[in-house]
Structure 1
Amino acid sequence: MNLLTKDPNVDKLSLSNPVHFLALGFGSGLAAKAPGTFGTLAAVPVYLLMMSLSLHWYLAITLVSVIAGFYICDRASKDMGVHDHGAIVWDEVAGFMITMIAAPIGVVWLVIGFALFRFFDILKPWPIKWLDAKVHGGFGIMIDDVLAGVFAFLCLQGIVYLVG
């Protein structure tokens, strides 16, 4: 299964296992370089499928994705024997979904949201970096990206307000 990476820990996961498939961001987490960015790219089609939903349904699906992510990331991490392995990118998928809550529809907004989420996910300003270091398990894997998504959401909505 380890087609893209050369990491033996990834061999412990299987794309045929639904939990592993989601944890690996539909396989995007297997990228040898920048799996978090590829995980966020994998979230784009998810967003495109959801963008025309009512806010109520968008929020409900996003909430389910975050809550399920605690289990998905925890299970994959335990199956690999490595906490927060780079190949586990469901947290990026959920974080990007948060970023894009109530975003205007359009390529420009998609690109801005993507860039803002990656910025906060990579830079990890306080308290994201602190949470990333101190909180473990599935919740720990998810919480830094959830918060990066919230920061990116707030910035994106601020830009929408300023432009509109």
Structure 2
Amino acid sequence: MHPKTSTHTANQSNAKKPSQRLTVRFLFSHPAHILSLGLGSGLSPIMPGTLGTLLGWVSFVALDRYLTPGHWVALICLGFLIGIPACAYTAKALNMSDPSAVNWDEMVAFWLILLFIMPASFGVQLAAFLIFRFFDMVKPPPIRYFDRHVKGGFGIMLDDIIAALCTLLTFAIWVRLTSF
């Protein structure tokens, strides 16, 4: 398992190895792991953040017919607040500051995006997915600032919320420019 990509090249050679192996046993060893590892999607050895975002997308589409926008706001806020200690607990258990396997942050952030763009066509949802993944993986400013300077569970959750806000800003600009 590798830590989330970072522009900190000086610390990459000193990166800590996880103290735990990512297994189904680890996943079910504590409720915080189940949540922070995206209900198990974080166990994927390939692109767990992208898989977590996909799970966020699928779960939003599945639940949206039952939840009002007010319910979504409450769920996103609750998901963010519960995600802080859960992600911190799992990161500490793995002896890493922001493990790539921790992908609850991507799920909650993508719910926020979908809340503001829905109802939308599949193509628009896909564009939101791709733009969000770009912001989350590349971490351009201001996301990079928060990724580097805000640590712990709050930092894990916050940089993805900032990436979601950058995605929504991109959409707002796109809508404004194409509506002339």
Q: C-alpha root-mean-square deviation of aligned residues, in Å? A: 2.2
Match of 1:28 in 2: 41
Q: What per-residue deviation string (whole Å, max 9, x for no partner) do you get for residues 87-124 of structure 1?
A: 11111111111221221323122211111110110121
Whose Rg is larger? 2
Percent sequence identity is 32
Q: Tell me the amino acid that sits aligned with residue 27 of structure 2.
A: S
Structure 2 CA distance for partners of 1:54 and 1:81, relative to 1, 3 Å: same
1:159 & 1:62 partners in 2: Cα distance? 25
Match of 1:10 in 2: 22
Q: Across the two proteins, how many residue pairs are aligned to each other?
A: 159
Greater displacement, 108-117 / 138-147: 108-117
1:120-159 correspondence to structure 2 within 5 Å: 120-159=135-174
Q: TM-score, normalised by structure 1?
A: 0.85
Name stretches of at least 5 consecutive residues in structure 2 with no aligned partner.
2-17
1:4-83 correspondence to structure 2 within 5 Å: 8-11=20-23, 13-15=26-28, 17-52=30-65, 53-83=67-97
Structure 2 CA distance for partners of 1:156 and 1:16, relative to 1, 3 Å: farther
Cα displacement (A) at 1:34: 1.2
Match of 1:114 in 2: 129
Name stretches of at least 5 consecutive residues in structure 1 with no aligned partner.
none
Contact 1:26 1:42 in 2 (8 A): no
Structure 2 CA distance for partners of 1:59 and 1:15, relative to 1, 3 Å: same
